[in-house]
Amino acid sequence: MRSKISFLSAAVLAATVSTTCAAQTVFPLTRADILAGALFDFKVEFDGVVDPAQVKVSINGADYSKTLGKAAVWVAKEDGKEASSLILRDASIRKPGTYVVTASDGKSTSSVTWTVYGTPAKKAAKNVILFIGDGFSIGHRTAMRILSKGIEGGKYTGKLAIDEMPYMALLTTQGTDSIITDSANAAHAYTTGHKSCVNALGVYCSRAANSLDHPKVETITSLAKRRGMAVGAVTNAEIEDATPAAMVAHTRRRSDYNDIVEMYYQSKIDVMMGGGSPNFLPKSTPGSKRKDDVDYIDRFKQADYRLATTKTEMLAAADDPKTTKLLGLYNTGNVDGALDLKFLKKGSVAQFPDQPDVPESMNAALKVLSRNKNGFVLMVESARIDKYSHSLDAERAVYDAIMLDDAVKQAKQWAKAHGDNTLILVTADHSHAVSVVGTVDDNKPGPDMRNKIGTYNEAGFPNYPAPDADGYPHKVDVSRRLRVLFGSYPDHYDTFAPHLEGEFVPAIRNAAGVMVANDAYKDVPGAELRIGNLPNIGPGAANNGVHTGDDVVLTAMGPGAEKVHGQMENTDLFRVMAEALALSPQKHAASAKASDK
């Protein structure tokens, strides 16, 4: 019986993960949902060098050029290799429906199916605010709720702003290459409505040698700008980092920071705020990370952007009614997280003492963007939930989750005061293996920290002080604190306590190339060595925790939010925004019906 089940499972799995062994690869990939009128690059990759006279590519039975409106470029040997490709840039399909693409080289044929969908003719929402808690998982959510709200009579004394929203869904985050995503293809799914692979932004992952040559898909920034709307990206990561970059970028490699700065410039995005200034500076300026002498600070200024390098400058720029474009760069690296910025003053706070937090940046962005009467799309990211989860620094991650909630709370207030016509979406891009396990109580007897852990009824409740108005307890190193554990980790010393000295650095690579526990924490009283459960050698060696494939929660409110329910693909979030903003208006209800799910 067991072998029979195994056999069946294997058969089902095979059917699930592999289609036919096709000779041709067609982009967009099969099962793509494409917004009618949105731009995409059409590409057919052939296995070897083929005779173009033998090639036949059709869409719904007719030559592809009839549907796509123009002919593709034939590349006999792509990148000089023994393989031919057909490439058509900036194609689009205006009419909603099902499209079957068939590509033949005269010997073998492969086909893909696309669904092209339209939107209602009239927009339901004037504005969209998309909040992304990077790596924001259920464990963070529970921990922040305990710290920010507290429990009385077994019930939370209040609701988080992110919880108090009428619509909720579970988003699945897997991509075209893997069950696990990174922040690049995860955010790309939200900003383009297409799936892609790890490290890719605004492109499908093809065999192109150059990271900028892969088949592109249009971003929501481009679509909104085409309709005269304003667009903004606010983060406390570097502005070139994957999540904000997904608003504008088209590259197979998210580390193309210098190219991404140029893509921001070309996108004409109205507001961009975060860290990461060195890629804006010409290489002749000490501290620059550019490889050329282009001064992007100057270029943005020449394009009428107001520049802010501190919170003070940002507030002044936003208050000026003439400001309609704003570039805010507040740190050379990431903007410091909430725990350092507001309480511990570690990280780079001494170096950059006047950085805004995420809600402050968001409010400045709202002021500037709302000067456009056609509405706006704003992406707001609390980025360091993820970064601190990678470094197993639970307290810093939870404080940045609280910062996300504070931003959402203020956005809800803004929306209510400005016409109640803003769709607000709050989600994560991917998850971490993070859980609230119980508490650690310093006052329990004995020398071993592990025996001070309370589980079940022994966990009781932590003794953090009451939160301030923004939701933060002012003290994190309390005597009975949350025990938050990460499920994936490298070798490290578990100190059972918050890292008041600065962000945790769990592991380092030793001289032999092996990732080992960071000895700096060896002598912290009570520290225990944890042997990691991730690779510690080779290119996959992990010096921190990794993303997981768990679903993430999406909560939503405002016009158009009713489409959020049940289990959805992460790409469906793009569709919710597109429909709310009527980004592909269809005259007849019947033709828009293809978009109904």
Partner 1 sequence: MFCPSRLSGGLPRRTFLCSSLVLAAPLASAAEATRVDNRLSFDTLYKTVGVLGTVYSEQAKALKNKEVRMRGYMAPPLKPESKGWSE
**Other C-beta atoms within 10 Å of 501: how many?**
11
Give the count of residues interacting with partner 1 (CB under 8 A): 45
276 binds partner 1 per the rule CB under 8 A:
yes
Q: Is 46 in the site for partner 1 (CB under 8 A)?
A: no
Beta strands in 203-313 (DSSP E): 230-238, 271-275, 306-308
Position among 40, 114, 117, 330 found at the interface with partner 1 (CB under 8 A):
330
Binders in 297-316 for partner 1, by CB under 8 A = 297, 309
281 contributes a contact to partner 1 by CB under 8 A: yes
Interface residue with partner 1, options 69, 228, 353, 502 (CB under 8 A): 502
Taking the least distance from each CB to partner 1, the nearer of 336 and 551 is 336
How many CB atoms sit inside 10 A of residue 291's CB?
A: 9
CB of 491 to partner 1, least distance (A): 13
Which amino acid, one-letter code, is at 564?
A: V
Pairwise CA distance, residues 225 & 3, whole Å: 57
> Which of 103, 116, 184, 377 lies at the binding interface for partner 1 (CB under 8 A)?
184
Q: Which of 286, 445, 525, 538 binds partner 1 (CB under 8 A)?
A: 286
SS3 (DSSP) at 347: coil
With CB under 8 A as the contact rule, which of the stretches 217-225, 369-377, 450-458, 498-506 interacts with partner 1? 498-506
List CB contacts of 221: < 8 A, sequence separation 6 or more.
191, 231, 247, 248, 267, 269, 377
> Considering only residues 33, 41, 238, 393, which one is a binding residue for partner 1 as defined by CB under 8 A?
238
Considering only residues 406 to 425 of the shown chain, the ones binding partner 1 according to CB under 8 A are none
- 334 belongs to the binding site for partner 1 (CB under 8 A): yes
Tell which one of 422, 536, 543, 584 touches partner 1 (CB under 8 A). 543
Question: What is the DSSP track for 98-123?
Answer: EEEEEEE-SS-EEEEEEEEE-B-SS-
Sign of CA dihedral 458, 463, 467, 472: negative
Query: What number of other Cβ atoms are within 10 A of residue 199's Cβ?
Result: 20
Helices assigned H by DSSP within 155-283: 183-192, 220-226, 242-245, 257-267
Interface with partner 1 by CB under 8 A: which range of 13-21, 217-225, 315-323, 499-507? Answer: 499-507
C-beta closer to partner 1: residue 301 or 371: 301
In the bound complex, what is the minimum distance in angstroms from residue 36's beta carbon to partner 1? 33
How far are the Cα atoms of 219, 229, 421, 547, 584 from residue 224, in angstroms, in the given order? 9, 5, 16, 31, 11
Q: Which of 331, 427, 548, 584 binds partner 1 (CB under 8 A)?
A: 331
List the one residue from 140, 306, 311, 387 that touches partner 1 (CB under 8 A).
Answer: 387
Task: Establish how many alpha carbons lie within 13 A of residue 41's alpha carbon, considering only the half-sphere containing its beta carbon.
Answer: 22
Please check whether residue 557 is in contact with residue 545, taking contact to mean a CB–CB distance below 8 angstroms. no
Verify binding: residue 333, partner 1, rule CB under 8 A: yes
64, 91 Cβ separation under 8 angstroms = no
> Footprint of partner 1 on this chain (CB under 8 A)?
182-184, 198-199, 237-238, 241-242, 253-255, 276-277, 281, 285-288, 297, 309, 329-334, 346-348, 351-352, 386-387, 390-391, 501-502, 505, 508-509, 518, 520, 543-544
